[in-house]
């Protein structure tokens, strides 16, 4: 199994606040690596650093063996990384279908920047692809609905559809089930499991719901005050006394 | 409303209507009105070029006066000093100068500052260009350039003498229609949709693999070079080019057209420019209070209809339609 993403010695400070402290994290092809940790542990910050939204204060990040530490986020996206945000980001004034069409067109424009600029409407193939993604994620009924009137959960699914439209190798999801009811959460987990399987993706996920973590993860790292305290197989992590003390113990009632 | 399915029939019918209206003017009105009508056509391009960057890419620029002036001065200088150059070359040179100025401004400021900060920087660069124009001898300093004649276009077999009769007026209408069509393509196609994404949520656009800095820069350069073209077309129409064109206050004109007509609509600035022209004409005899009246009316419209005239029409139309055709039940 070759390594897709490899982050070594990552530090991130915001002024005098040290958020990430010497984080090592790697992800093999086909792996599903879940980063857990309580609120404020630095999960979102780690996502920002890995995806290129911000630069680390120190450390290196490589993607497919290539050093991307100083590469902008859009370049990492172009080399096959799709990411979601803790609060879904979609184009609010556009319909659900248009959101996906813009994503498909962005992928096409990366591959062939000058092709099809004289075409006005989206190409038939692009529209068809967007329609099938819409259907696959159960958003067919929201086709003509502006994203701003979609529910929180529907926006998350739409954002996932936009990421799939990029045909990524690696999908990074920041708390994909945050703020969902238990039923919605289970549906979301099943959906993520399905799309990851069907598209042969690697997954990097942050989460603080333990149910989700153990259903989706093949490897788990625990982030605590900006440090990775444990990393390993789900069973190992579950059995780790330190993890029980700092995390599972306190959250047992929630899961 | 989807942005992925574009209906050219609607756009081209509206454009045909506008062009037809413009072509009638010389047959029914006096020279003063024909002149004003030509200015309105140029203002339509001026306004839409601004709105392409403003509404689609979210770039608020007060540099449009300098782009317009650079185009006008470029054409004015070349026509008066380098008369042997074909007019098409002169126009291309003007567009190039405007695009270059936009490129420099954008590289300087677009990445570092956004929104109002960028607007202020364009204001500063505009002031610099204004001062420069007034200091340069070969641009006529305070007096500007006079005797900017209307050119003859050599098409090989035939020569079009644009100085004869209303020929230059027809040239303005044709070239403006062409530029409006070009901008409509840029507004409606994949490029326009990705610009809209950049404006709507830059972070999301970035993580779709879109280079948002580059997209914004391209939008500004397109806006700047098309605005410069409008200026270059204007120069032989007025036959004089003066430094007032570069004054920052002139940059408020396209913004005014846009807000008046409705920034959300491609033809919003066109409607705004036409209404402004009518208003200007209707109050022409009220010397002194004319500016005040026009200003007051515009303020009233902009404040009372935030979506512009087209926005107002749209919501009225929706209200009329609503009872007769019940909308499909959407998802909650
Ligand atoms: N832009 C920022 N400036 C200053 N502090 C920040 C910034 N972003 C995050 N932090 C701090 O970093 C810590 C980790 O935040 P975050 O990465 O959002 O945690 P998590 O996603 O695990 O809940 C928090 O204490 C937060 O206050
Ligand atoms: Mg977070």
Is there a single domain that holds both residue A156 and residue A187?
Answer: no
Q: Is the pLDDT of residue A252 over 50?
A: no
Q: What is the mean pLDDT of residues A218-235?
A: 90
Does residue B328 fall inside a structural domain?
Answer: no
Number of domains in chain A: 2
In a domain, B276, yes or no: no
Q: What is the mean pLDDT of residues B25-30?
A: 91
Ligand nearest to the CA of A37: 1
How much is the mean pLDDT over chain B? Answer: 88
Angstrom CA distances, B139 to B62, B74, B80, B218, B219, stand at: 22, 9, 11, 29, 29
Query: Out of A83, A109, A116, whose CB is closest to B194?
Result: A109
CA gap A68, A6 in Å, rounded: 10
Domain contains B3: no
**A155 strand-pairing partners:** none
Report the 10 Å Cβ neighbour count for B85.
13
| B204 pLDDT more than 50 | yes
For position B326, what pLDDT does the model report?
47
State which residue of chain A sits closest to B182, comparing Cα positions: A118
**Mean of the per-residue pLDDT values of chain A:** 89
If interface means Cβ-Cβ distance under 8 Å, which residues of chain B face chain A? 1-6, 8, 185, 188-191, 193-194, 196-197, 200-201, 203-212, 330-332
**What confidence category does residue B332 fall into, taking pLDDT thresholds of 50, 70 and 90?**
very low
**Nearest residue CA, atom 1 of ligand 1?**
A14
Buried/exposed code over B3-26 (b: 16+ C-beta within 10 A; e: otherwise):
bbebeeeebeeebeebbeebeebb
**Residue reference for tokens 């009372």:** B304
What residues are neighbours of ligand 2 (ion), with CB under 5 Å?
Answer: A 43-44, 86
Chain B's closest residue to A167, CA to CA, is: B208
Domain-embedded: residue B153:
yes
Confidence of residue A250 (pLDDT cuts 50, 70, 90): low
Query: Taking CB atoms and an 8 Å limit, are B208 and A154 in contact across chains?
Result: no
Give the span between the Cα atoms of B224 and B69, in whole angstroms.
11
Give the model's pLDDT for residue B147. 80
* pLDDT the model gives residue B299: 82
Contact A216, A36 (CB under 8 A): no
**Residue with the larger pLDDT of the pair B104 and B301:** B104
Instruction: For residue B200, list chain A residues with Cβ-Cβ distance below 8 A.
Output: 91-94
pLDDT of B213 over the 60 cut:
yes
A119 & A9 share domain:
no
| Option in A103, A119, A144 nearest B189 (CB) | A119
C-alpha–C-alpha distance, residues A216 and A209, integer Å: 11
* Same domain as A131, residue A15: no
Is residue B240 a part of any domain in this protein?
yes
- Cα separation, A189 vs A176, in Å, equals 8
CB of A205 within 8 A of CB of A34?
Answer: yes
Which span out of A114-123, A180-189, A228-237, B166-175 was modeled with the highest average pLDDT?
B166-175
A13 and A126 housed in the same domain: no
Report which DSSP code applies to A169: S
Q: Is pLDDT above 50 for A254?
A: no
Q: Which of B20-34, B92-106, B137-151, B203-217 has the lowest mean pLDDT?
A: B137-151
A119 Cβ neighbours under 8 A, 6+ residues apart: B189, B190
Question: Is the Cβ pair B205, A106 closer than 8 Å?
Answer: yes
Asked which of A102, A132, A166 is the last residue of a domain, the reply is: A166
Domain assignment present for B319: no
Q: Which of A51, A21, A3 is nearest to A206 (CA)?
A: A51
**pLDDT-based confidence at B321, cuts 50/70/90?**
confident
Q: Give the list of residues 6+ apart from residue A252 with CB closer than 8 angstroms, or none.
A: none
Burial label, B172 (beta-carbon count in 10 A; 0-12, 13-18, 19+): buried
What percent of chain B lies above the pLDDT cut of 70?
96
Same domain flag for A67 and A102: no
Residue nearest to atom 11 of ligand 1 (CA): A19
The pLDDT value given to residue A160: 94
**Would you say residue B139 has pLDDT above 90?**
no
**A52: pLDDT confidence band, cut at 50, 70 and 90?**
very high
CA distances from A11 to A47, A72, A73, A142 (A): 13, 18, 18, 42
Terminus-to-terminus CA distance in chain A, angstroms? 32
Do A188 and A72 fall within a single domain? yes
Average pLDDT over residues B184-212: 95
Q: Using one digit for the tens of pLDDT, what is the confidence trace for B240-278?
A: 999 988 888 888 889 989 999 999 999 999 999 999 899
| pLDDT class of B162 with cuts at 50, 70, 90 | confident
**Model confidence at A253: pLDDT above 70:** no
Domain assignment present for residue B78? The answer is: yes
Lowest mean pLDDT among A65-74, A162-171, A197-206, B297-306: B297-306
Structural domain harbouring A125: 89-166
Asked if residue A159 and residue A180 are part of one domain, the reply reads no
On the question of pLDDT at B212 being above 70, the answer is yes
Taking the CA atoms of B145, B146, B147 and B149 in sequence, report the sign of the dihedral they define: positive
Q: Which residues of B fall within a CB distance of 8 Å from A145?
A: 330-331
Q: Is A187 exposed, middle or buried (0-12, 13-18, 19+ CB in 10 A)?
A: middle
Please give the helix or strand (H or E) that residue A27 lies within, else none.
strand A17-28
Domain final residue, candidates A166, A188, A220: A166
Pick the atom of ligand 1 nearest to A43's CA. 22
Give the pLDDT of residue A249: 56
CATH code for position A54: 3.40.50.300
pLDDT band at B330 (very low <50, low <70, confident <90, very high): very low
Interface touch A103/B210, C-beta < 8 Å: no
A76 pLDDT more than 50: yes
- Whether ipTM exceeds 0.90: yes
Give the number of domains in chain B. Answer: 1
Specify the higher pLDDT residue, B326 or A94: A94
Q: What is the pLDDT of residues B101-132, one digit of tens each?
A: 999 999 988 877 777 888 888 999 999 999 99
Above 60 in pLDDT, residue B289?
A: yes
Pair (A74, A174) in one structural domain: yes
pTM score:
0.91
For residue A81, the chain B residue with the least C-alpha distance is B207
The three-state secondary structure class of B256 is helix
Q: Considering A116, A151, A166, which residue would you say is the last residue of a domain? A: A166
Chain centroid offset of residue B36 CA: 16
Using DSSP's 3-state secondary structure scheme, residue B318 falls into: helix
Q: Give residue B174's domain range.
A: 8-253
Residue B91 has pLDDT above 90, yes or no: yes
Mean pLDDT of all residues in A177-184: 84
Do A245 and A172 fall into the same domain? yes
Whether residue A95 is found in the same domain as residue A112: yes
- Report pLDDT for B301: 78
Across A64-209, the runs of DSSP E, i.e. the strands, are: 66-67, 81-83, 170-174, 202-207
Question: Given this model, what pLDDT does residue B214 score?
Answer: 94
Task: Give the pLDDT confidence score for residue B111 in this predicted structure.
Answer: 77
Alpha helix segments (H runs only) across chain B: 8-28, 31-51, 57, 64-81, 87-109, 116-135, 167-188, 190-200, 202-206, 212-238, 252-261, 268-282, 289-304, 308-321
- Alpha carbon distances (Å) from A126 to A100, A156, B110, B204: 9, 21, 31, 19
pLDDT of residue B142: 79
* Residue B324 located in a structural domain: no
Residues with C-beta less than 6 Å from any ligand 1 atom: A 14, 17, 19, 37, 39-45
Share of chain B above pLDDT 90, in %: 56
For residue range A7-33, what is the model confidence (pLDDT) as tens digits? Answer: 999 999 998 999 999 999 999 999 999
For B49-68, what is the mean pLDDT? 93
Q: Percentage of residues in chain A with pLDDT exceeding 70?
A: 96
- Decide if B215 contacts B195 (C-beta within 8 A): yes
Residues A187, A135, single domain; the answer is no
> CB distance A98–B3 less than 8 Å?
yes
């Amino acid at each position: 199994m070759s390594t897709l993403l490899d982050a070594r010695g990552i530090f991130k400070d915001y002024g005098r606040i040290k958020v990430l402290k010497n984080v090592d994290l790697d992800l093999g092809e086909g792996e599903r690596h879940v980063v857990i940790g309580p609120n404020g542990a630095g999960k979102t910050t780690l996502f920002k650093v890995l995806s290129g939204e911000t630069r680390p204060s120190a450390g290196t990040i490589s993607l497919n063996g290539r050093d991307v530490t100083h590469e902008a986020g859009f370049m990492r996206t172009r080399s096959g990384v799709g990411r979601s945000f803790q609060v879904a980001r979609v184009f609010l004034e556009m319909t659900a279908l248009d959101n996906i069409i813009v994503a498909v067109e962005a992928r096409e424009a990366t591959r062939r920047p000058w092709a099809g600029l004289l075409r006005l409407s989206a190409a038939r193939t692009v529209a068809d692809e967007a329609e099938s993604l819409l259907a696959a994620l159960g958003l067919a009924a929201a086709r003509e609905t502006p994203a701003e009137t979609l529910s929180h959960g529907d926006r998350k699914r739409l954002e996932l559809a936009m990421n799939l439209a990029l045909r990524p190798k690696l999908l990074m999801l920041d708390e994909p089930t945050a703020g969902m009811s238990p039923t919605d959460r289970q549906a979301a987990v099943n959906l993520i499991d399905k799309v990851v399987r069907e598209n042969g993706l690697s997954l990097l996920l942050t989460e603080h719901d333990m149910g989700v973590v153990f259903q989706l993860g093949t490897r788990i790292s625990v982030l605590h005050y900006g440090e990775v305290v444990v990393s390993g197989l789900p069973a190992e992590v579950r059995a780790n006394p330190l993890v029980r003390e700092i995390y599972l113990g306190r959250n047992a009632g929630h899961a | 409303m989807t942005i992925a399915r574009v209906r050219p029939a609607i756009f081209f019918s509206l454009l045909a209507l506008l062009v037809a209206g413009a072509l009638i003017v010389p047959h029914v009105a006096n020279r003063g009105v024909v002149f004003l009508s030509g200015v309105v056509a140029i203002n339509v391009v001026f306004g839409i070029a601004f709105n392409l960057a403003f509404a689609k890419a979210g770039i608020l620029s007060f540099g449009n006066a300098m782009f317009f002036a650079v185009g006008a001065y470029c054409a004015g200088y070349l026509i008066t000093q380098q008369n042997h150059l074909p007019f098409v070359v002169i126009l291309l040179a003007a567009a190039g100068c405007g695009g270059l100025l936009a490129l420099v401004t954008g590289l300087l400021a677009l990445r570092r500052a956004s929104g109002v900060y960028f607007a202020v920087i364009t204001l500063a660069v505009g002031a610099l260009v204004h001062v420069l124009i007034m200091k340069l001898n070969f641009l006529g300093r305070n007096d500007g350039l006079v005797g900017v004649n209307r050119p003859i276009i050599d098409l090989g077999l035939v020569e079009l003498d644009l100085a004869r009769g209303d020929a230059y007026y027809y040239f303005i209408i044709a070239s403006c229609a062409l530029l409006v069509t070009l901008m409509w393509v840029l507004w409606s196609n994949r490029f326009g949709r990705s610009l809209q994404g950049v404006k709507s949520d830059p972070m999301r656009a970035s993580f779709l693999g879109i280079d948002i800095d580059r997209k914004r820069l391209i939008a500004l350069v397109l806006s700047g070079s098309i605005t410069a073209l409008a200026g270059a077309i204007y120069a032989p129409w007025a036959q004089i080019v003066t430094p007032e064109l570069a004054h920052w206050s002139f940059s408020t004109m396209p913004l005014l057209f846009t807000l008046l007509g409705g920034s959300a609509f491609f033809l919003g600035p066109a409607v705004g420019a036409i209404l402004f022209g009518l208003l200007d004409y209707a109050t022409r005899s009220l010397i002194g209070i004319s500016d005040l009246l026009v200003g007051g009316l515009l303020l009233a419209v902009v404040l009372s209809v935030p979506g512009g005239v087209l926005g107002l029409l749209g919501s009225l139309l929706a209200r009329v339609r609503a009872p007769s055709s019940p909308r499909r039940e959407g998802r909650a």
